[in-house]
């Protein structure tokens, strides 16, 4: 009988695994001699050597697993995820401490390989460190990109794309319809037209790239939990994937930005400025004025695509799913749309304020299925105390918005989808009510979310809730 020797790939993988374990042990011993000086961390589950609590969140959806752990260990809980100390917030009271009381301390984001490569070294609004650059960028977004007036200026685009969505569904009458796919395509189409002004040659390729970047950013990457071992990103292939995505996205956006610059230089004004036009106003300004580089502009455009498209489609998708599971709610929403738009022919945004019940459906969807169940993480800028516990500098802090939205101490019948709960309620999604934070709160609230997304959600839900 011939001996079977292991293949080179098996030997190589095994050697890497052994090397990985040896480095973990070595670094773990070094860290044990230099642990956080505080012994008063928030409570948390027992940790395994090397991996800490990673095994406790890898077996199910992270926001579900973290809620279950919080039931045992409290609304302010510490976990050791590989090398990263992570504090998990699971109550409105603790969320207020992080996002309001100690807002400045927790105003920055942790860095990752995704933000470094795809977001042009974290120079977009979402991941830029808290400081002068971020404050100026936020001001531009508030007054220029996402002002109420500019959002309203895109209503023609939203109306045209909603009509196109309805026609697309009508063409499939009598056949199974992949509504999720159609909603996502429509959401990206709106954002693309708002950003660039019109369809462009590489639009489908660009949308595909953004989707892939979002998929990689939201995936489980073990290397992120061992930041001292940068080489792990090369082993798992993530770095090369991200670099390829960045290269192609940069090429396409470069073409679009250059076309806008040439149009501007020719002296031909546009009837309606798009988002690239608005950002170019801040390019190459005087030495005493805030200026954006071309890479900064590209980073912001990618940011708006991610925040304004993917989660918008997801929210409408969940709203339709819940209405289909609840015929009473669906009928009530349909009757309202028919009543408001009876005889008008087109479903547009003129009757937006009259759709009271559909607005309740959207608000309940954002409670029940927040766009980002675990809000984007924050990093502790300096040691502070919350609820009698010490949060060390550089600790990562994650707020479980999904758990807070389903907290039975805050919501009656929290696990049921009941739009009527918001009748005569003053609760809004702008970050002032910490029991309801689908877009976050404080300085790092998701601006494209609460300014841009509800408008798009409502017109889509209206368009798709009426039988064709």
b/e map of 355-386 (b: 16 or more CB within 10 Å)? Answer: bebbbbbbbbbbbbbbbbbbbbbbbbbeebeb
Residue 466, phi-psi category: left (phi > 0), alpha (psi -120 to 50), beta (remainder): beta
246, HSE (Cβ side, Cα atoms, 13 Å): 19
Q: Is 380 annotated as a binding residue?
A: no
Say if strands 384-386 and 389-391 run parallel, antiparallel, or are unpaired.
antiparallel
Structure tokens at 235: 């082993």
Residue 21: burial class (beta carbons within 10 Å; 0-12, 13-18, 19+): exposed
In contact, 316 and 464? CB cutoff 8 Å: yes
308 touches 447 (CB < 8 A)? no
**Distance, CA of 109 to chain centre:** 13
C-alpha distances in angstroms, 358 versus 84, 172, 213, 431, 452?
Answer: 42, 25, 32, 21, 17
Annotated binding site for heme: 446
Annotated binding site: 446
């Amino acid at each position: 009988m011939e001996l079977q020797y292991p293949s080179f790939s098996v030997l190589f993988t095994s050697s890497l695994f052994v090397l990985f374990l040896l480095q973990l042990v070595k670094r773990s011993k070094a860290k044990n001699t230099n642990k956080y000086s505080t012994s008063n961390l928030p409570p948390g589950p027992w940790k395994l050597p090397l991996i800490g609590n990673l095994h406790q969140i890898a077996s199910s959806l992270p926001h579900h697993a973290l809620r279950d752990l919080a039931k045992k260990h409290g609304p302010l809980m510490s976990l050791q995820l590989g090398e990263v100390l992570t504090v998990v917030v699971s109550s409105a009271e603790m969320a207020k401490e992080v996002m309001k009381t100690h807002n400045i301390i927790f105003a920055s984001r942790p860095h990752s390989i995704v933000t470094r490569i795809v977001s042009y070294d974290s120079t977009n609004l979402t991941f830029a460190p808290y400081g002068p650059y971020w404050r100026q960028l936020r001001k531009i977004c508030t007054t220029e990109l996402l002002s109420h007036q500019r959002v309203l200026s895109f209503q023609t685009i939203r109306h045209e794309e909603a009509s196109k969505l309805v026609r697309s569904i009508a063409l499939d009458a009598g056949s199974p319809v992949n509504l999720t796919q159609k909603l996502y395509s429509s959401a990206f189409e709106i954002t693309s037209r708002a950003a660039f002004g019109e369809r462009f040659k590489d639009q489908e390729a660009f949308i595909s790239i953004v989707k892939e970047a979002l998929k990689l950013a939201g995936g489980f990457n073990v290397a992120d939990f061992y930041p001292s071992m940068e080489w792990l990103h090369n082993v798992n292939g993530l770095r090369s994937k991200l670099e390829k995505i960045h290269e192609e996205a940069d090429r396409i956006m470069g073409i679009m930005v250059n076309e806008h610059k040439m149009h501007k230089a020719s002296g031909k004004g546009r009837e309606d400025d798009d988002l690239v036009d608005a950002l170019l106003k801040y390019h190459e300004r005087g030495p005493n004025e805030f200026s954006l580089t071309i890479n900064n502009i590209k980073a912001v455009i990618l940011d708006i695509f991610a925040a304004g498209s993917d989660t918008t489609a997801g929210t409408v998708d969940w709203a339709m799913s819940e209405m289909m599971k609840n015929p009473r709610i669906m009928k009530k929403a349909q009757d309202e749309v028919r009543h408001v738009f009876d005889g008008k022919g087109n479903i547009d945004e003129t009757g937006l304020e009259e759709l009271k019940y559909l607005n309740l459906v959207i608000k309940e969807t954002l409670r029940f299925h927040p766009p980002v169940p675990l809000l984007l993480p924050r990093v502790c800028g300096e040691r502070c105390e919350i609820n009698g516990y010490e949060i060390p500098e550089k600790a990562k802090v994650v707020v479980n918005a999904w758990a807070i939205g389903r907290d039975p101490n805050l919501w009656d019948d929290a696990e049921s989808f009941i739009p009527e709960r918001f009748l005569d309620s003053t609760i809004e999604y702008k970050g002032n009510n910490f029991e309801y934070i689908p877009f976050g709160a404080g300085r790092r609230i998701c601006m494209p979310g609460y300014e841009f997304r509800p408008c798009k959600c409502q017109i889509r839900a209206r368009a798709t809730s009426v039988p064709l």
